[in-house]
């Protein structure tokens, strides 16, 4: 059965109040739609852990710093609802924009520190937009558990921090990155790649895996970063925003691999910005 779609906060609240009264736990999976197996893995994890599962679909204008990117972001609501059918989610919350940002909305949630680097350095205001909408979705759904992908690892850390700092009573659960067979991390943005670019895209994960092997052998980022960037550019990527080794908790920059270190990358291919990260 296709889960009911709710577009209004009042409807969402009526539903969650009934579940709470019955003593049922609630899990939320926030998404921007154009669902793929990565999103579905989060919904499955929620299904296993919680009595009730809400998937939210909201293309959040506040987290786009480029209007063209917002316009071109894929929107596939009907297909999304069908894809969720087999998982058996209880509610799909697709808030009308004014349910999230009513007239006169004036509050921003801003997490400092973790957002200064990586995608925060290149995308002004992006994480404020993420933190603000996620805070609203946590408070609107009043979920007990929230499921986020490690695909957006910095976002996962930012969300953990805001829930902790604001005493939001929700447990944030990180789920592994789901990949295509050729290693490309699944992403709604992959739909924007032409067939020719799609063939080149897995080089990003390949380069990162080779870097991981080199780091594990004791090599440092200073030696291996420039050759890796050159490989990406030779493969057809037009720009590398970052290719960095960082601590998996506080995201501080590392040169050599330490326990918990992760490798992070963002690079442009034919006008599409791809990001990935792997544990080293
Ligand atoms: P988005 O719709 O891109 O905002 O993503 C919604 C959620 O799905 C976020 O928690 C993402 O980290 C997660 N997600 C996106 N792609 C993947 C993937 N390939 N594997 C696991 N989770 C993912």
Ligand 1 contact, 188 CB (< 6 A): yes
Pocket test for ligand 1, best of 35, 38, 73 (most atoms within 8 A of CB): 38
Per-residue pLDDT, averaged over 113-121, amounts to 95
The domains of the chain, with CATH numbers, are 5-175 (3.40.50.620), 188-279 (3.30.1300.10)
CA pair distance 219, 214, nearest whole angstrom = 6
Ligand 1 atom having least distance to the Cα of 32: 2
CA distances from 262 to 19, 115, 134, 277 (A): 39, 16, 24, 7
Residue 267, pLDDT above cutoff 90:
yes
Ligand 1 atom having least distance to the Cα of 35: 2
Ligand 1 contact, 38 CB (< 6 A): yes
* Residue ID of nearest Cα to ligand 1 atom 6: 31
Ligand 1 contact, 47 CB (< 6 A): no
Can 39 be counted among the known catalytic residues?
Answer: yes
pLDDT at 165: 98
How close is the Cα of 178 to the center of ligand 1, in Å? 9
pLDDT digits (tens, 9 = 90+) for 159-206: 999 999 999 999 999 999 999 999 999 998 899 999 999 999 999 999
CA pair distance 202, 179, nearest whole angstrom = 10
- The band of 95, judged by pLDDT with boundaries at 50, 70 and 90, is very high
Residue 39, pLDDT above cutoff 90:
yes
CA angle 64, 247, 133 (to 5 degrees): 25
- The band of 260, judged by pLDDT with boundaries at 50, 70 and 90, is very high
How close is the Cα of 94 to the center of ligand 1, in Å? 17
Residue of 12, 19, 39, 254 with catalytic role: 39
Q: Could you identify the residue written with the tokens 């946590």?
A: 138
């Amino acid at each position: 059965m296709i889960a009911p779609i709710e577009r209004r906060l009042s409807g969402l609240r009526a539903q969650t109040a009934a579940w709470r009264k019955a003593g049922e736990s609630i899990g939320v999976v926030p998404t921007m739609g154009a669902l793929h197996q990565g999103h579905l893995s989060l919904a499955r994890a929620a299904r296993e852990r919680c009595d009730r599962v809400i998937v939210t679909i909201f293309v959040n204008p506040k987290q786009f710093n480029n209007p063209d990117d917002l316009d071109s972001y894929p929107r596939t609501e009907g297909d999304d609802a069908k894809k969720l059918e087999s998982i058996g989610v209880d509610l799909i919350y697709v808030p009308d924009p004014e349910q999230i940002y009513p007239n006169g909305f004036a509050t921003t949630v801003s997490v400092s520190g973790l957002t200064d680097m990586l995608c925060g350095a290149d995308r002004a205001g992006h994480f404020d937009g993420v933190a603000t909408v996620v805070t609203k979705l946590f408070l609107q759904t009043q979920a007990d558990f929230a499921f986020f992908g490690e695909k957006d690892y910095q976002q996962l850390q930012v969300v953990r921090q805001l829930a902790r700092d604001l005493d939001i009573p929700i447990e944030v659960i990180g789920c592994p990155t789901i990949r295509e067979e050729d290693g490309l991390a699944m992403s709604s943005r992959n739909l924007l790649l032409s067939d020719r670019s799609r063939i080149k895209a897995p080089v990003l994960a390949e380069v990162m895996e080779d870097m991981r092997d080199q780091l594990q052998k004791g090599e440092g980022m200073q030696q291996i970063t420039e050759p890796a960037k050159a490989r990406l550019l030779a493969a057809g990527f037009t720009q590398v925003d970052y290719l960095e080794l960082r601590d998996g908790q506080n995201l501080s920059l590392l040169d050599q691999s330490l326990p918990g270190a992760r490798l992070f990358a963002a690079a442009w291919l034919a006008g599409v910005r791809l990001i990935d990260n792997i544990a080293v």
